[in-house]
Amino acid sequence: MCTMIAQQVNISGSGKTGTGWFKLDQLSVSYDHPFDMPLEYALNLDFTNQSGGPGRRVAVELDAASARRLVELIQGVMEQAEKGGFVGNEG
Amino acid sequence: MYTTDQYEGMLAETMVIPGYHADLIHAYFARPLGSGPFPGMVLVHHLPGWDEWYRETTRKFAAQGYVSICPNLYFREGHGTPEDVAAKVRGAGGVSDEQVLGDVGAAQEMLLALPYVSEKVGIFGTCSGGRHAYLCACRIPRFSAVVDCWGGRVVMTPQELTPKQPVAPADYTADLACPVLGIFGNDDQSPTPEQVNQLEKALKQHGKDYEFHRYDGAGHGFFYHNRPNYRQEQAVDGWNKVFTFLDRTLKGR
């Protein structure tokens, strides 16, 4: 790995690819060479199911500006959801 | 130099070798046809994985007269597209240097045991493979040449060390017993020109046989024709430097 900037965290979620939905239990976030974006480095999000093999992956690659906008967006949406009393009542 | 009246034939296929801890792993193997003896090359693949570029490059070396093998260093992670497997390895912080040494050492031993391979086996790598190639050339005896193409983290600060990468490859330079060719882009950020300077300083301090080519207008991965960093002029010259170096060190020309 060129930058060695990568962190993993266990998550609970669902992801969708062309073959349908599957459970997600791990997220890897790295800043390193992307596979598809025409950039030398990108923010790479890999949502995976650890027991499903390497192909059980929802991959997203973002440039740095888009990655920062994503962080702001998520924080903004979560604040709104918390104020509205929706967080913690997911069922 | 190839001329149109020459015979050229090749065998290329996926095979299995016993790697680190005798784990059976896949390797892509390509050899020129004939009884040889031919020099050998071990190819160490890069971050994007055991991919099409490395299968093409293994055949490229075979076409140039080298019995070549590229072990799948990510074999133990499972199967899928090379990208999916490489992404899994990337998220886990890479594979350990110890494991790479085992897999590459096994590939070298296999080549040296073949009846049509000479005693000269080199090692080639790009990106993280360049780092691994340098490490392996220092730690595994009997390599006769090493080609390090833009290997980042050959020079490492103490803060950059990890349990999987506990020692900077440059720290083993005293043990390097073969010539090294380094190919670098001056716009690269890993390794930076300053890091390449540090590696060169280590090679000079230890009196090693080395040859560096540093290209303006090129960054990381400028041989990769399928990526935006491809630089045609620099890549053509770089490949010429690679094969001229290997002609000298492995074919005695």
ipTM of the complex: 0.89
Instruction: Report A:24-43 residues touching B (Cβ under 8 A).
Output: 26, 28, 30, 32-33, 35, 38-41
- This prediction's pTM: 0.95
Contact B47 A48 (CB under 8 A): no
- pLDDT tens sequence for chain B (253 residues): 789 999 999 999 999 999 999 999 999 999 999 999 999 999 999 989 999 999 999 999 999 999 999 999 999 999 999 999 999 999 988 999 999 999 999 999 999 999 999 999 999 999 999 999 999 999 999 999 999 999 999 999 999 999 999 999 999 999 999 999 999 999 999 999 999 999 999 999 999 999 999 999 999 999 999 999 999 999 999 999 999 999 999 999 8
Q: Do the bridges between strand B117-126 and strand B210-215 make them parallel or antiparallel, or are there none, so unpaired? A: unpaired
For residues B71 and B102, is the Cβ–Cβ distance under 8 A?
no
Residue B22 structure tokens:
């005798």
Active site residue B220: yes
Q: How far apart, in whole angstroms, are the C-alpha atoms of residue B59 and residue B38?
A: 14
B188 labelled catalytic: yes
Bond preceding residue B191 cis, omega within 30 of 0: yes
Instruction: State whether B91 and A57 contact (CB < 8 Å).
Output: no
A55 at B interface, C-beta within 8 A: yes
Of B70, B127, B138, B178, the active-site residue reads: B127
**Residue whose token pair is 């540093």:** B214
Annotation says B79 is catalytic:
no
Which residue from B78, B190, B220 is facing A53, i.e. has the nearest CB?
B78
